[in-house]
Amino acid sequence: MIPSSFPDSTEIARLTARMLLEIKAVHFNAREPFTLASGLPSPTYIDCRRLISYPRIRSTLMDFLTVTVMRNAGFEAFDNIAGGETAGIPFAAMVAERMALPMTYVRKKPKGYGRNARIEGAMTEGQRVLLVEDLTTDGGSKLSFVDAIRETGATCGHTAVIFYYGIFPETEKTLGDHGVQLHHLCTWWDVLAEAKAQGTFDAETLDGVEAFLNDPRGWQDANKS
């Protein structure tokens, strides 16, 4: 079923943050930082994959993501919903179901045998494709998926994620320069505000996280091992 009536974007952001905190997808630790895929330290870590194990929350968030995309991009803006390997695949399937559209997925690299394809499923020339993933940090990883989609002759001018870091100013420019508009439900700022409101973490932890969000590159430089 295609959702049509939902809260405004501010309330969606707050509720999304609340749900992520409720299922313990959010991890804060300023004393013993996490190591990101880039090798850089961070006092924050989010695991959106946990959402697939919580049916009521995942259903609500997929409704939110679908209506956000339709509000921002249009109700007839897409012909195909593509998930990025691997975390984006289940979310793309759920959005495609809600929008009554075909679903495909994009491999990070060719599988190395058979057709050596990066696109799985049926994607055809001229289709307007929405790329769905769980999250984005600086937007860089999305570009390879977008290029793989465009190589089929389809177009891809939009990507939708549940969570957007919202702290690296270059992200939307990186995507915009590649002709891609970002749609998201919430950011670290929304999660921090909700964590403060709920008292989910102690004040020292929240202060450390806020210092990171205000100057992520400086915080990482100061906390490199």
Asked whether 101 and 127 are in contact (CB, 8 A), the reply is: no
Q: Taking residues 196-202, what's their average pLDDT?
A: 94
pLDDT, tens digit (0-9, with 9 covering 90-100), for 96-125: 999 999 999 999 988 766 666 899 999 999
CA 69-188-200 angle, to 5 degrees, is 120
Q: With the C-alpha atoms ordered 10, 13, 16, 17, is the resulting torsion angle positive or negative?
A: negative
The pLDDT-based confidence of 1 (bands split at 50, 70, 90) is low
pTM of the model: 0.94
Residue 95 confidence (pLDDT): 98
Residue 208 confidence (pLDDT): 92
CA-CA distance, 70 to 144, in Å (whole number)? Answer: 24
Check pLDDT > 70 for residue 8: yes
User: Helix 55-73 crosses helix 88-99 at what angle (to 10 degrees)?
Assistant: 60
> Where do the structural domains in the chain lie, given as residue ranges?
9-222
CA-CA distance, 18 to 54, in Å (whole number)? Answer: 14
Q: What is the 3-state secondary structure (H, E, C) of 132-171?
A: EEEEECCCHHHHHHHHHHHCCCCEEEEEEEEEECCCCCCH
Check pLDDT > 80 for residue 203: yes
pLDDT, tens digit (0-9, with 9 covering 90-100), for 19-77: 999 999 999 998 899 987 777 889 999 999 999 999 999 999 999 999 999 999 999 99
Per DSSP, which regions of 19-111 are E strands? 26-28, 34-35, 41-42, 44-46, 80-84, 103-106
Q: Would you call 128 helix, strand, or coil by DSSP?
A: strand
pLDDT, tens digit (0-9, with 9 covering 90-100), for 129-181: 999 999 998 888 899 999 999 999 999 999 999 999 999 889 999 999 999 99
Q: Which CATH architecture has domain 9-222?
A: 3-Layer(aba) Sandwich (3.40)
Beta-carbon contacts of 1 under 8 Å, excluding residues fewer than 6 positions away, are 98
Asked whether 186 and 13 are in contact (CB, 8 A), the reply is: yes
Residue 2 confidence (pLDDT): 64
* Mean pLDDT, all residues of the chain: 93
Residue 98 confidence (pLDDT): 95
Beta-carbon contacts of 147 under 8 Å, excluding residues fewer than 6 positions away, are none
